[in-house]
């Protein structure tokens, strides 16, 4: 009687996704959007090309709806992991989030806007903690801006970062300039954000000639991600 040969079991299709040394994520959180960018170093020494995802709210979106979606941080995190094709453990993930506002804004007396900004940021951070991601670094904007400025050969002083003064928005495009100059193969090439009279801040449609207000928030998330990468390597 012939004995059937046992088929060799193939390794789990998810095993290669779990072979991660670390994952670095940068997060930009505002009243209009949450943007995440991430990269990963695999155990075989290969590095995942950075990817970015975003959740955007238009003008008129209920404030509690924004907070509810911010609190579901795991949805956006898992979307990013899917883009990176990884399934890391929580303790392998390091996340840099920009502080909700600077001390300068506090002195400006923008109390209601600052309160809501802090609540959105807190809801998202609480969602991260709820699902086990605890390696969170809350950083000042100048941390990632200095990284970008150093690479561009300028400084973060307002005369260099935004030389046109208050009427200029050049500073809002520095992260995009940095990505396009030094990291053209990264995820990117998103349209500018424009101010729509009814919908608020939105990506510029292909058929629109409206002047850009700022670059897509995902560019700044990529800069925060790179700050996190360099901190991990220290």
Distance CA 72, CA 75 (A): 6
* Residue 47 domain flag: yes
Q: What is the pLDDT of residue 104?
A: 55
* Residue 182 domain flag: yes
* Residue 87 domain flag: yes
The residue behind tokens 């959007």 is: 33
* Residue 119 domain flag: yes
Q: Are 211 and 77 in contact (CB under 8 A)?
A: no
Q: Which run of H or E residues covers position 95?
A: strand 93-98
Residue 148: φ, ψ to 5°: -65, -45
Distance CA 29, CA 13 (A): 34
Q: Flag whether pLDDT at 111 surpasses 90.
A: no
Distance CA 223, CA 23 (A): 15
Q: Flag whether pLDDT at 207 surpasses 60.
A: yes
Average confidence (pLDDT) over 37-48: 96
Q: What is the pLDDT of residue 1?
A: 47
* Residue 70 domain flag: yes
Distance CA 52, CA 66 (A): 20
Average confidence (pLDDT) over 9-17: 51
Q: Flag whether pLDDT at 6 surpasses 90.
A: no
Tokens encoding 195: 């101010």
Four-residue CA torsion sign, 104, 220, 230, 133: positive
* Residue 181 domain flag: yes
Average confidence (pLDDT) over 172-180: 97
CATH number at residue 77: 3.30.420.10
Helices 141-152 and 174-182 cross at an angle (nearest 10°) of 50
Mean pLDDT of the chain: 90
Q: Flag whether pLDDT at 5 surpasses 70.
A: no
Q: What residue numbers bound the domain in which 211 lies?
A: 15-233
* Residue 10 domain flag: no
Distance CA 26, CA 37 (A): 5
Q: Per the structure, how many domains does the chain have?
A: 1
Q: Which residues contact 67 (CB under 8 A, 6 or more apart)?
A: 119, 120, 123
pTM for this predicted structure: 0.89
* Residue 1 domain flag: no
Range with the lowest mean pLDDT among 18-22, 38-42, 219-223?
Answer: 18-22
Give the model's confidence band at 16: pLDDT under 50 very low, under 70 low, under 90 confident, else very high.
low
């Amino acid at each position: 009687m012939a004995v059937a040969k046992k088929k060799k079991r193939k390794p789990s299709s998810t095993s290669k996704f779990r072979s991660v040394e670390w994952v670095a994520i940068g997060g930009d959180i505002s009243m209009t959007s949450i943007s995440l960018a991430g990269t990963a170093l695999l155990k075989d020494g290969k590095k995942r090309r950075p990817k970015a995802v975003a959740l955007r709210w238009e003008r008129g979106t209920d404030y509690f709806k924004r907070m509810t979606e911010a609190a579901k941080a795991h949805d956006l995190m898992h979307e990013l992991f899917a883009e990176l094709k990884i399934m890391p453990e929580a303790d392998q993930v390091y996340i840099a989030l920009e502080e909700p506002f600077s001390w300068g804004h506090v002195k400006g007396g923008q109390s209601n806007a600052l309160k809501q900004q802090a609540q959105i940021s807190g809801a998202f951070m609480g969602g991260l903690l709820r699902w086990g991601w605890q390696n969170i670094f809350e950083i000042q904007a100048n941390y990632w801006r200095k990284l970008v400025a150093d690479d561009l050969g300028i400084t973060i002083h307002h005369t260099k970062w935004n030389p046109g003064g208050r009427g200029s928005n050049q500073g809002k495009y520095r992260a995009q300039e940095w990505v396009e100059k030094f990291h053209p193969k990264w995820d990117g090439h998103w349209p500018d954000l424009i101010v729509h009279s009814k919908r608020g801040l939105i990506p510029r449609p292909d058929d629109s000639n409206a002047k850009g207000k700022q670059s897509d928030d995902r560019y700044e998330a990529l800069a925060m991600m790179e700050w996190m990468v360099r901190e991990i390597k220290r």
